[in-house]
Amino acid sequence: MNLINLSAEPVGKLYSWIPHDLEAETVVFLPDACPGKSPLPTGTAVFTHQPDWRKFAISDCGCGMRLLRSDLAPAELTLSRWDQVADLLRRNKGGLGELGGGNHFLDALEPYDDGPLHFLIHTGSRNESGHVDALIDDPAQFDAEFDRVVAWAADNRAAVHEALNSVFGPLDLILDLPHNTYEILPDGGVIIRKGSVRVTPGDLSVLPSHMSGDVVLVRATDRVGDILYSISHGTGRTMSRSDCKPLADRFDFAEMRRRILIPSGVSDASLRTDGPYAYRDLDECLALIEAYVEPVTRFAVIGYMGHL
């Protein structure tokens, strides 16, 4: 196995995260690599010819991010407007246009180069993804259901987009990229991407850090082919949710709320396991992948919503 380590973790730890029954030719660990509930660690790309590879491609299929640009100045983001969007998304609970839970979010962004207000949507496929799990031994049905769920997740991001349109006016789509997918290659091999985005040289992608940290739009370099045409979907967690409590107890949520608009009704208690202290710094992440991406536009987060 060829293991490519672009994370800050020691190689020995990474090997312990690889499923014991995975037969892979190449495994790429990106800066946001961390173990989770899915078969593969988040922040990985795997190349394999293993016949039963589908069992590793499940969990939140099609989860992804959508970046949007408005014609408004960042100063036109108000709490009243932000609350309107939150109310619309709450009404979508259980259907298209719901943010979901965990680390899924909607950010309002201000470019450092004095550009217009942007928005970043990160949502998953929620309960839809579970329909794929039982089909791992039926390739045709698995592939068809996987495609349906990936399309559903894209439609969900589009529905959040529509909610933003209704409050902020028409928004331009910059990119919409899923990061839990697979790609069957002509030679019969497959690349499974878990928490990683497919990019080719020149493609744009987006890297968020945490609810009060910077976001950067990046462009893939020619070297991205060396890492299975895959790139990180964020900076990644540095601790588990269960380990967050001591830091959450000391964190000044009131100070963060003075800097960043958070909708009414989102309590500090709901943010404790996803606070800024739980995630890697953006510049630390970029240093690990500097050969594979070039920064295009950097943004400050000026509005956050999640855990609605």
104, part of any domain:
yes
- Whether residue 18 lies inside any domain: the answer is no
What is the total count of domains within the chain? 1
Residue 114: which CATH number? 3.90.1860.10
Quote the pLDDT of residue 129.
82
Q: Could you tell me if residue 300 is inside a domain?
A: yes
Is residue 261 within 8 A of residue 212, CB to CB? The reply is no
Domain assignment present for 3 = no
Task: Read off the pTM.
Answer: 0.95
Q: Is residue 296 part of a domain?
A: yes
Residue 30 lies inside a defined structural domain of this protein: no
In a domain, 113, yes or no: yes
Please report, in tens digits, the pLDDT of each residue of the chain (308 residues total).
999 999 999 999 999 999 999 999 999 999 999 998 899 999 999 999 999 999 999 989 999 999 999 999 999 999 999 999 999 999 999 899 999 988 899 999 999 999 999 999 999 988 888 889 999 999 999 999 999 999 999 999 999 999 999 999 999 999 999 999 999 999 999 999 999 999 999 999 999 999 889 999 999 999 999 999 999 999 988 888 888 889 999 999 999 999 999 999 999 899 998 899 989 899 999 999 999 999 999 999 999 999 89
Alpha-carbon distance values, 223 to 25, 175, 180, 191, 226 (Å): 19, 21, 22, 17, 6
- Can you give the residue range of the structural domain that contains 249? 64-176+198-305
Determine, yes or no, domain membership for 190: no
